[in-house]
Structures are given as structure tokens and as C-alpha cells.
Amino acid sequence: MKHRHVTLVGILLVGIMLISGCVEGAAKSGDTVKVRYTGRLADDTIFDTSVGREPLEFTVGSGRLIPRFEQAVIGMKRGEPRTITILAEEAYGPHYQELVFVIGRDYLPGDLEPEIGSLLHVQLTVPNGPIITGIVLNVSETSVTIDANHRLAGRDLTFDIELVEIVEVAQ
């Protein structure tokens, strides 16, 4: 009889610990989590990482991140690593050639000196001119070539993810 009593007490303690959050389960949609990650391109170039920074905190399923990245965290447990590849179409979409364009330098503010590789964010100097944001691809005496696609458009992305913590469990 004593053995059965100890077993029931043990089961009750584990149940209380699970309810109180002392024992973490797997991450699920609605949980707020912290992850470490490194994002790589097909040639192993790292385009982003949380190494050396605070882990990324987000609510799974909130839509704040690339959906496949959020989905990859579902089912992970604390300390668990996972590697996923997200195809371009599910990440930042295809690279559209229509978003690469050439504008005359006379449409830019006079004090602006664009540099190749820099991010250009400027309102064109025409009545109600659009705001142009993109990477400068080429600069000549008379024109500037700008790519307004996201810098990762058309690229498959590989992420190494580690679940650091489930900060808040969804109710």
C-alpha cells in the first residue's frame, strides 16, 4: 500500500509541475519563445544570425516572421536544434526584374551621392514623387540603377534554429 501511495504522490507532483510550467513541453502555436538562429544561403554565406546578440523572441503563429520559420519551431523542446530550408517562394518570393530600374540622377536630391551596394531610401524630386527604397546596383554620371526587390528575394534560405526557452505558454 505504501508503494502505491508514493507512486500517486509522484504522479501528482509531475502533474503540478507541468501545470505550473516547471517542466517544459514542446513549443506550440501561441507560445512565446526565444530562439537562436543562423540564416545561410545555398553557398553557405551567412545573411543573418542571433549569435552574439539576445535570442530572437516571438509568438509562434503571430505572423511576425516567415511562416515556415515559425512552423519549424512547433514541436521543438528547450535546447533542441533544427535545420530547415525555406524555398524562395515561401520566404521573400521571386526576384522580379521589373523592380530593377534606372532613374536619372536629376530626379534625386542634389546632395545625395549614391554608392553601389548601399540602401537608397529617397523621395524622387517630382511632384508627389514616389519613395524609392532599394539597393544601388550601378551609378553613372547621369543615372542610378536600383533593385527594389528584398535583398533575399529569389534565394532559398537555410536556418539553423535552437529553441532557447518557452517564455510563455499559450492558454
In this structure, are residues 148 and 99 in contact, taking their beta carbons and an 8 Å threshold?
Answer: yes
In this model, does residue 22 exceed pLDDT 50? no
pLDDT at 20 over 60: no
Q: What is the pLDDT of residues 86-113, one digit of tens each?
A: 999 999 999 999 999 898 988 888 888 8
Distance CA 125, CA 136 (A): 18
| Element (DSSP H or E) covering residue 5 | helix 2-20
> Model pTM greater than 0.85?
no
DSSP code, position 55: P
Bridge partner list, 123: 131
Domains and CATH numbers, the chain: 2-89+154-168 (3.10.50.40), 97-147 (2.40.10.330)
Digit-coded pLDDT (tens) for 109-155: 888 889 999 998 877 666 777 787 899 999 999 999 999 999 999 99
Higher pLDDT, 144 or 19: 144
- List the beta bridge partners of residue 134: 120
- Would the pLDDT of 74 be above 80? yes
- Mean pLDDT, the chain, rounded, equals 87
Work out the angle at residue 65's Cα, subtended by the Cα atoms of residues 64 and 67, and round it to the nearest 5 degrees: 110
Residue 67: phi and psi, rounded to 5, are -50, -45
